[in-house]
Amino acid sequence: MKNTEIDRLMREALESHNDFKIPEQLIHSTIHKLERRMLIREIVLELAFKLGLVIISLGILALALTLADGTRMMNSIVDFVVAQRQIIFSVLFLAFVILIVDQVVLRFYLFKSGRLGY
Give domain status of residue 11, yes or no: yes
**Domain count of the chain?**
1
Q: Is residue 45 part of a domain?
A: yes
> How would you class 73 by CB atoms within 10 Å of its CB: exposed for 0-12, middle for 13-18, buried for 19 or more?
middle
Q: What is the pLDDT of residue 91?
A: 92
pTM of the model: 0.56
* Domain membership flag for residue 108: yes
In a domain, 103, yes or no: yes
By CB neighbour count within 10 A (0-12 exposed, 13-18 middle, 19+ buried), where does 67 fall? Answer: exposed
- When pLDDT is cut at 50, 70 and 90, the band that residue 42 belongs to is confident
Flag whether 118 is in a domain. Answer: no
88: domain range? 3-113
Please provide the DSSP assignment of 8-58 as one string: HHHHHHHHS-SSS---HHHHHHHHHHHHHHHHHHHHHHHHHHHHHHHHHHH
Which carries the bigger pLDDT value, residue 98 or residue 106? 98
